[in-house]
Structure 1
Amino acid sequence: MAEKPSEILAQLLSHMRVPRLMRSRPGAPPGLLADLPEAPPPDVRLLAYNADDHVEQKLETLDELPQYLEKWDVVWLDVEGTGDSRLLEHVGEVFQIPKLALEDVQNPAHRPKLEFFDERMHLILRMAHWREERIELEPVNLFVGPNFVVTFQLADRPTDYFEPIRSRILSGRRQIRTSGADYLAYAIIDRVIDAGLPVLEAVAETYHELEAEVLEPSSRQLITRIHAMNSQLLVLRRAVAPHREILQTLRRHPETVFSEEVIPFLGDCYDHAAHVAELSESYHALGVQILDFHLSISSHRQNEITKVLTIIATIFIPLTFIAGIYGMNFNPQASKWNMPELEWAYGYPFVLVLMFAIGVALVAFFWRKGWIGWGD
């Protein structure tokens, strides 16, 4: 059984609704962390490095973290899954992260934001992914300190989106290995921002396909697909729009954790963020135009059908009138005025010829007016 358009639309938009892992009760104390028993166990990965060496491993406990912070120039702790409150509290204790910021980590629907505390920075960004004609948005929490970077991501992700950055570190790329934690933070921010470009390229290809389908006899699902894509782009535009303001603040904030050597790279990130935001706005406008064009085409086709039926009905109106008159059963024998032509030998052929002539005359008239013909 074919799915209804409403069901298709709900399915396409389902991935745009980010679930809330934690919803504080009204009146709950600030900074309250919650356990989510049904959440998968968190996956904690550590990558520490300096100019000459590196170490990478998965951590079962965080007891050795202070030693890594003392030994290595840069420590990157990547946590996938935010449903374990004890783990979050331990991370907060080691890296001196306030509980209010950790509470935001457990809220994946939180809007992008930037805040500073002591010599640390908390940044929330939204990373876009494309999967089966759907735009998925994943929150990325980033904490940056003097010699560390802590990232929080959702669990059960299909792929490791930070793998290119890990590869650069493990392969010994000099720039990232000889730079501080601020450069690593820049690389992560750049990866999150640039993730929107392939998504928008896929959106552009989808819109090109939809433009071609609009010119063909459309199915019921076409308008649903167009509306779903426009809705997803609207959500994407709202999600990435704050990135520009955040990056602009990072470039100008006097308390920023970024050094003067890294700030120019943030300018490049800002340009990418602006490009993503502008493309999302442009493609959303294109989607609205395609939808309007589709509705115009559908309305034009409906008008053409109505015109054809109206012309057919107009042709048969006089023919029906003539047939109705001669369908009246008046007896010619009772009066000479009771349809005397009924007794005429050529009466029936004459009426048929008359009806045919009227039909041809109406068709010729409509053709001359341009209401019918190959030129429509």
Structure 2
Amino acid sequence: MIRETIEEVITKPTKRYLRRLGLNTLFGTTRTKEILHVNPTIIPHREEAREVRAYVYDFDASHFEEHEFNAVEPCYRFRHSNRISWINVDGLRKADVESVCLHYEIHPLLIEDILSINQRPKMDEVEGVLFCLLNMLYFNDNAGTVEQEQISIVLGKDFVISFQEDASRDVFNPLREKLKLASSKIRQRSADYLCYSMLDLIVDNYFSVMEKLGDRIEDLEEQVIHNSNSRSLARISSLRKELIVLRRNIIPVRDLVSGIIRSESDLLDDRTTKYFKDVYDHIMQAQDLVDNYRDIMVTMQDLHINNVNLRMNEVMKVMAIVTCVLAPATVIGGIFGMNFDKIPYLHNDNGFYIAVLLMLLIPVYMLWLFRKRGWF
């Protein structure tokens, strides 16, 4: 107890001074803690959403309805509408999630996954429904970080339910616009095609995030090549952390889509399988791109270290040349400064000028010799 108190007394002033100097921001230690401190054995504590918004899109080839509710209960009447229903719940509350899942006969294990935090993307088939959990990614231009929002998608017979954490943003606006068109494929197909469209938009948005991150990597590469400094190393470290976030979210989605393709669920139409294969191709391309970015960052870090070593070698070279050039003058001055009565040219009228001339000519000759041999 005493040890912990002493550590707190020492650590708090240190953190305060680091914040004043801006070093925490420079090296991104807080971001490292956010990325790496994930313990699946600890029961997560999720804050209840202040408000819940439920959006219902009920449609078939000839009919379309769009509704917005402040509670989840009004959505229940679409359970047996004989059309396809997409229920999008923005904002998670435990009571609301349990109520929706109870009404649509969704297994309690899936409720735990929906309410989880920092869950690994995955796909499950439990008691007649197909469950997908993954993250939507966004790029924060101000902070230069990749932000993630967990989304759970439940595919059942003639319905799709999606649970989102953040009600202010998602990537489904193009899908909403297509639903309003009677000629769109989504209106002509079953619920599994709607699920495919949602996954396709999420995966396609990964490329938008990677494009913005790629622009920053390109700018950083120019900086490292032309003007590498300590901030360059900090930016390299920061971007590598964001690549960790990308890789952590992208690679499991590959397994998720692969599981859907291999699934023999009655909820999946054979005609839709080829569309999921297209999503699989996209996620593989995204994984290759992330791996390429990571290789570039490793090369960039090596380049930065080589530049630092090169500058250090240049400095050491200059210092060595200066030392060598001053060595003759030091030797001559030391010889004529010895306390002896008899030293050649000691009492000569031109002795001083001869010594100074030697001190100048020998370094000039040495510089010429170094230059001729290409030492600098």
TM-score by length of 2: 0.87
List alignment gaps of at least 5 residues for structure 2. Answer: 1-19
Corresponding position of 2:241: 231
Corresponding position of 1:146: 157
Q: Which string of whole-angstrom CA distances, capped at 9 and with x for unpartnered residues, describes residues 187-242 of structure 1? A: 00101111111122222222211111112232321111112112221231132112
Residues 173 and 289 (structure 1 numbering): CA distance in 2 closer, same or farther, change over 3 Å?
A: farther
Shift of 1:50: 1.7
Residues 276 and 110 (structure 1 numbering): CA distance in 2 closer, same or farther, change over 3 Å?
A: same
Do the aligned partners of 1:16 and 1:136 also contact (CA within 8 Å) in 2? no
1:169 aligned to 2:173?
A: no
1:288 aligned to 2:298?
A: yes
**Partner Cα distance (1:369, 1:210) in 2:** 37
Residues 47 and 17 (structure 1 numbering): CA distance in 2 closer, same or farther, change over 3 Å?
A: farther
Q: Aligned match of 1:242 in 252, 270, 292?
A: 252
Q: Which string of whole-angstrom CA distances, capped at 9 and with x for unpartnered residues, describes residues 303-357 of structure 1? A: 1111111111121122112112223344x4xxxx2x2522211011100110111
Secondary structure of residue in 1 paired with 2:312:
helix
Secondary structure of residue in 1 paired with 2:73:
coil
Considering fraction of residues, name the structure with more helix.
2
1:359 aligned to 2:363?
A: yes
List alignment gaps of at least 5 residues for structure 1. Answer: 26-33
Identity %: 25
| Residues matched between the structures, number | 355
Residues 156 and 175 (structure 1 numbering): CA distance in 2 closer, same or farther, change over 3 Å?
A: closer
Q: Aligned match of 1:124 in 133, 136, 150?
A: 133
Root mean square deviation of aligned Cα: 2.4
**Partner Cα distance (1:295, 1:315) in 2:** 30
Corresponding position of 1:259: 269
TM-score by length of 1: 0.87
Q: Which residues of 2 match residues 184-333 of structure 1 at below 5 A?
A: 184-255=194-265, 257-330=267-340, 332=341
1:112 aligned to 2:115?
A: no
Q: After TM superposition, which residue ranges in structure 1, 4 or more long, deviate above 6 angstroms?
A: 17-22
**Partner Cα distance (2:72, 2:170) in 1:** 22
Residues 219 and 42 (structure 1 numbering): CA distance in 2 closer, same or farther, change over 3 Å?
A: farther
Higher relative contact order (CA 8 A, sep 6+): 1
Letter in 1 for 2:275: F
Shift of 1:93: 1.0
Shift of 1:126: 2.2
**Partner Cα distance (1:200, 1:71) in 2:** 40
Q: Aligned match of 1:10 in 18, 29, 48?
A: 29
**Partner Cα distance (2:32, 2:101) in 1:** 35
Corresponding position of 1:29: none
**Partner Cα distance (1:211, 1:365) in 2:** 38
**Partner Cα distance (1:60, 1:81) in 2:** 11
Shift of 1:369: 1.7
